[in-house]
Amino acid sequence: QKEVEQNSGPLSVPEGAIASLNCTYSDRGSQSFFWYRQYSGKSPELIMFIYSNGDKEDGRFTAQLNKASQYVSLLIRDSQPSDSATYLCAVNAPTLIQGAQKLVFGQGTRLTINP
Amino acid sequence: GAVVSQHPSWVICKSGTSVKIECRSLDFQATTMFWYRQFPKQSLMLMATSNEGSKATYEQGVEKDKFLINHASLTLSTLTVTSAHPEDSSFYICSARKDRVQETQYFGPGTRLLVL
């Protein structure tokens, strides 16, 4: 079982609709959860992070975390063509360096917003 | 802000040569930096974690003698690909962690390496 799993897509959503991206993780000890957006040929950029159960909203983006079910999701409201990208879910994990954490990434979900 | 730069943005080299990639945190100090590699249509794969002033910790399967990492200061980490071969051609991306509390990583723009 992969540590972080995402549906690779492609996920196609009409412009103006809500895009829903899901991610599950295997380590119950994980505390920090991140969503990154990666445009083709570019490096990832941080969209949101969430640490507590429930919803966290930032503009058109809402991250949802359910630690009991070990899933985290990202909702994008009023989807725009510029939202078309690959969305990476990342979860923290310990490293061999004391006190340091690393991020484990899912394979990413490719999202296409259709005008 | 949290800006991370990388240099060079792309490099083409002959097989057998060494290539050095720099990663800098421009507006914050980063005690921990990370190096990733990404092949086309695949996700990010962590290569190593480095703390300023100490040896890097490499992920399983990553050759430490081939991918030399130096984290000489709180704002600079370098990755040297030694004796590069065509199979090392990839997109190399660094990230820097801004603080220990939030664990948030900010990524550099990446370096595209092509080994001929």
pLDDT digits (tens, 9 = 90+) for B28-67: 888 889 999 999 888 899 999 988 778 889 999 999 999 9
Lowest mean per-residue pLDDT among A50-64, A84-98, B102-116:
A84-98
- Do the chains contact at B103 and A106, CB–CB below 8 Å? no
> Any chain A CB within 8 A of the CB of B49?
yes
- Locate A2 and state its tokens: 């992969």
Q: What is the pLDDT of residue B100?
A: 63
DSSP string, chain A: --SEEE----EEEETTS-EEEEEEES-TT---EEEEEE-TTS--EEEEEE-SSEEEEETTEEEEEETTTTEEEEEESS--GGG-EEEEEEEEEE-SSTT-EEEEE---EEEEEE-
Q: Verify whether the Cβ–Cβ distance B32 to A100 is below 8 Å.
A: yes
Q: What pLDDT sits at residue A88?
A: 96
Residue A46 scores a pLDDT above 90: yes
B77: chain A residues, CB-CB within 8 Å: none
* Structure-model confidence comparison of residues B102 and B4, the more confident one: B4
- Percentage of chain B exceeding pLDDT 90: 68
Which chain B residue lies closest to A38 (C-alpha atoms)? B43
What confidence tier does A21 reach under pLDDT thresholds 50, 70, 90?
very high
Q: Residue A2: is its pLDDT beyond 80?
A: no
Q: Do strands A101-105 and A85-94 pair parallel, antiparallel, or not at all (unpaired)? A: antiparallel
The pLDDT value recorded for residue B42 is 87
Kindly state whether B42 is in contact with chain A, defined as any CB-CB distance less than 8 angstroms: yes
- In 3-state terms, what secondary structure has residue B88? helix
Quickly state the pLDDT bin for B101 (edges 50, 70, 90).
low
Residue percentage of chain A with pLDDT more than 90 = 80
Residue B10, burial from CB neighbour count under 10 angstroms (0-12, 13-18, 19+)? exposed
Q: Tell me whether B109 touches chain A (CB under 8 Å).
A: yes
Q: Which residues of A36-46 are buried (b: 16+ CB within 10 A; e: fewer)?
A: bbbeeeebbeb
Judged by CB atoms closer than 8 Å, whether chains meet at A100 and B49 is answered as yes
CB contact B115 to A (< 8 Å):
no
Q: Cα–Cα distance between A85 and A79 in angstroms, integer?
A: 12
Distance from the first to the final alpha carbon of chain B: 38
Residue A1 has pLDDT above 70, yes or no: no
Is the distance from CB of B90 to CB of B38 less than 8 angstroms? yes
Answer whether B42 sits within 8 Å of A107, measured CB to CB: yes
pLDDT of residue A95: 74
Q: What is the pLDDT of residue A94?
A: 80
Segment B103-107 shows an average pLDDT of 86
pLDDT at B35: 96
* Residue-level pLDDT at A106: 93
Nearest CA in chain B to A92: B103
Interacting residues of B51 by C-beta distance below 8 A, sequence separation 6+: A97, A100, B31, B32, B71
Q: Decide: residue B86, CB within 10 A, 0-12 exposed, 13-18 middle, 19+ buried.
A: exposed
User: What is the average per-residue pLDDT within A22-44?
Assistant: 94
- Say whether pLDDT at A12 is over 90: yes
Q: How far apart are CA A20 and CA A11, in angstroms?
A: 9
Separation CA A22–CA A57 (nearest Å): 16
Residue B105 predicted with pLDDT over 80: yes
Cα–Cα distance measured from residue A77 to residue A59, given in angstroms and rounded to the nearest whole number: 9
pLDDT at B10 over 90: yes
Q: What is the pLDDT of residue B2?
A: 85
Distance to chain B for A48, nearest Cα, Å: 10
Determine which of A43, A48, A49, A95 to mutate to test the interface with B (most B C-beta atoms within 10 Å): A43
